Structure 1
């Protein structure tokens, strides 16, 4: 067997059982919770050792306080085998005396500096590998709960975690703290990281600007998947959006072609209350939406979720020197927008029930578009669609609530299978435009004509339009 090519031995090893408790999971995706069956095969020969390491070192999860061991054990070919690295950042512990107090500004700054140093240490390690020519292209991930103090974990061991005033407020201690990249700590750029995944909507949240700060040190970044949380404090909420937008405007990501960006949003539970504004008072447009539009021009795939306004699709008349947008390479576009615009206006309306019949916490009645607010949003979108010559699929979606379900408009090019709406394989022979908007939300002529233009230049005039029943969580 020693005469067999290494690639063939690797393929043989891939047929072995690795984790007996995960028989249905592809071997390279398995994460063993019990002892792996692979290690004994590494003793057969040097080639079998390489085959086992090709599998076991392909994906690793490492804590920042384990980085020294990581450097020691991941050597030689193991570095080439590593294609996915999940990095958890451990922050300093804190004493019981502060359990009942929110973090001070000084504590927040200290945590951000520790967070940045941990990333700097990792980047410095990977830079050494890169300089030595011993690193493959790498998918770098900061997972959910990717940054935490060991002291935070006490919450997981408590039966009753209700805050106790003056004793322990648990996760409320850092509910409004956002970890950021500190300017006081520098780190090198890495050319071998084309994928960056950030799950920043954690108990300890990451500032959205973290994504841009890291991207600035990853010049060959091609795919990003970033999910960020939101503060309940309006000033912090607005600040985070503006900081992200400004950083995005100033950062070149010329090689990035696919982006999945989620800015945490909740379906409003009470439709009778005013919406919360996410822009400064008097702002004529949402800077985040505008910056995302400019960023998206060279993408091939874009998925977005959050609070957006029409400047996401078309420049506001108040934007200085804004040229007409175009998306020459965009193939896939999915936007899930909230019922509440960044300015705090509602995009949807409905018949408000009698106040005596309304619960203080739950009242959902907005189920069709408000022409005054939704039409400008849809008009901008329909204009943008006409500047996307190779678009094969778009989905514009808003979740209205448990009873009303989802408001959606979707387009599929010929050959694209619809997520829902197709009635037979013959539908896939033509362009399709599917509306799930309710009887009173049908788009006006200008908007409808713009939406019908999707794919027209590439595939011709024929298009199938269909109005569908609402999808809801209650079947």
Structure 2
């Protein structure tokens, strides 16, 4: 009896056993046509493709006479090779011309991928596709150079024989999609994952652009960088461009789950004053991004879960607008079941969501003044040194036009390695302060109240978690601590809760010692939870 004459169920069991035992499966595809189909339906289900391999992808998969290869495709991981640059370019920052070349290559590669995937007709038996955008780099980038060359280049730079910025060359660059219309609509992509927070960063608006070309996408998981402090105009523009993309999108009819990681780590200096990056779309000083995220998510009729993390810098506008609160207009989140927000310590208006607790740390009140005086002295001396350096024609360090609150997007051609501490000060990382902010500010309580007011507009809500991680310090016992709340609807399981507790709605707070809800916030939650609800405080 040949393999081809075996009953399909038995043959499938044999293939499963081989797959479970063997790592190299391709050799079995040569046994017979039946084995080829069975093996390739597995090996072609998960494909990793580089931008310079699209021709091979089309030839071996999309244009192959074996239709099972196309129908087998379930997951595509895509990475993009950007244009090379020479040794001389390693010693200078990317300019606008460099960025345009990379943006053009990025857009062309994405258009090529979308055009290729569009040939897989979802109506001829092919399955839905998970699309993952993983890596974006040039061969001369520090993490892509040959190991021996990288070692030699670092040695030459250390001895003064080479000018090389390594990853600093493209630190301030963000890849952009230039022509969305060049990307055909993909009806068969139902899941999108974007790793845009790597050494080569993507502009957050790329997520909105891709969503506009994926009408049936049900799950989105994207990570981007939102931690630029040296050039706040650039950060403000990047956030507002994402907000504008969300405005232009049609209602996401199929979207069920959104995870957005917009990384905004708090500065190491607790006295640092961040920039206002709310944007100018609204005259009421609402945050562009928070507002458009709310409108976008509320317009998604099938949305059951969203997770905003990073931590992410958002405002109370995520849950309600000032106009809606005053007018009584209440837009509902019809099917939302789970909402998780990991807040950045820094608000979009540049302020902090936490403050130093002088009652618990009275000794810090004097330290702040001393640090501010020290900062002023350091700024003054640094400016003098910088002026002297400019007068001598040196481009070491950042010029005044490149300092904090700068308008100029272009740094000097050579980075002053002796001025790295000054650069860290512009970024809020120096001087690092040990007595840190641990107590909620009024603005954080306003956000907590906005979240509580949004709960009645979420008729199917089962779980809400809104909070911020406090960094380790003496005040926190040397550990990360949570500052925020968890809400659980009746019947929702929770670690440590028995059957009796699950009969009630629950509100669990994790807060600094002595903090309690304001009267307005407590009244709102009591109205939602009822008299029998469980409210507990975990103090640290």
TM over 0.5: yes
CA–CA separation in structure 2 for the residues paired with 1:283 and 1:161:
51
1:151 has 2:222 as partner: no
Correspondence for 2:174: 178
Gap change, CA 1:79 and 1:415, over 3 Å in 2: farther
CA contact 1:270–1:364 (8 Å) conserved in 2: no
Q: 2:321 aligns with which of 304, 315, 330?
A: 315
Contact 2:294-2:317 within 8 A present in 1 as well: yes
User: Corresponding residue for 1:204?
Assistant: 200
Distance, in Å, in 1 between the alignment partners of 2:501 and 2:5 is: 54
Residue deviations 1:266-318 (CA, integer Å, cap 9, x gap): 13322122234323489712110000011111321110021011101011339
Number of the residue aligned with 1:45: 32
* Mapping 1:235-314, distance limit 5 Å: 235-252=233-250, 253-280=252-279, 284-297=285-298, 298=300, 299-305=303-309, 306-314=312-320
Tell me, yes or no, if structure 1 residue 367 matches structure 2 residue 423. no
Larger radius of gyration, structure 1 or 2? 2
TM-score by length of 2: 0.76
Alpha-carbon spacing, 1:131–1:443, altered in 2? closer, same or farther (3 Å): closer
- For the residues of structure 2 that align with 1:150 and 1:260, how far apart are their CA atoms? 31
1:391 deviates by: 0.3
Aligned residues: 446
Matched, 1:59 2:61: no
Q: Of 109, 114, 121, which aligns to 2:112?
A: 121
Q: Output the CA distance in 2 between the equivalents of 1:216 and 1:375.
A: 35
Task: Give 5+ residue unaligned stretches, structure 1.
Answer: 21-35, 471-475
**Of residues 4, 26, 38 in structure 2, which corresponds to 1:2?**
4
3-state SS in 2 of match to 1:245 = helix
CA shift for structure 1 position 216: 0.9
Once the two structures are TM-superposed, the CA of residue 85 in structure 1 deviates from its matched residue by: 0.4
1:436-468 C-alpha deviation (Å, 9 max, x unpaired): 0123332123223433555x5xxx864222222
Question: Aligned-pair distance for 1:180?
Answer: 0.6
Alpha-carbon separation, structure 2, partners of 1:267 and 1:8: 58
Q: 1:100 and 1:342 mapped to 2: Cα distance?
A: 34
* Larger RCO: 1 or 2 (CA < 8 Å, sep 6+): 2
Alignment map for 1:336-347 (pairs within 5 Å): 336-347=342-353
CA-atom RMSD in angstroms: 2.8
CA displacement, residues 155-184 of structure 1 (integer Å, 9 cap, x when unaligned): 673358597787100111111111111128
Tell me the SS of whatever aligns to 2:322.
coil
1:3 to partner: Cα distance: 4.4
Q: CA deviation at 1:39?
A: 2.6
Structure-2 residue corresponding to 1:413: 489
Greater alpha carbon shift after TM alignment, 224-233 vs 353-362: 353-362
Q: Distance in 2 between matches of 1:58 and 1:435?
A: 45
Give the drift of 1:377: 1.3
Alpha-carbon spacing, 1:452–1:40, altered in 2? closer, same or farther (3 Å): farther
CA shift in 2, pair 1:94/1:48, >3 Å: same
Q: CA deviation at 1:222?
A: 1.2
Q: Secondary structure at the match of 2:323?
A: coil
> 2:138, 2:144 within 8 Å by CA — same for their partners in 1?
no
Q: Tell me which protein shows more helix as a share of its residues.
A: 2
Cα–Cα, structure 1 residues 156 and 244, in superposed 2: closer, same or farther, change >3 Å?
Answer: farther
Q: Is the 8 A contact 2:266 2:346 kept in 1?
A: no
Partners of 1:377 and 1:277 lie apart in 2 by 17
Cα 1:6–1:251 change in 2 (3 A) is: farther
Query: Could you say what secondary structure the match of 1:211 adopts?
Result: helix
Q: CA deviation at 1:324?
A: 2.5
Does the C-alpha gap of structure 1 residues 134 and 434 become closer, same or farther in structure 2, counting only changes over 3 Å?
Answer: same
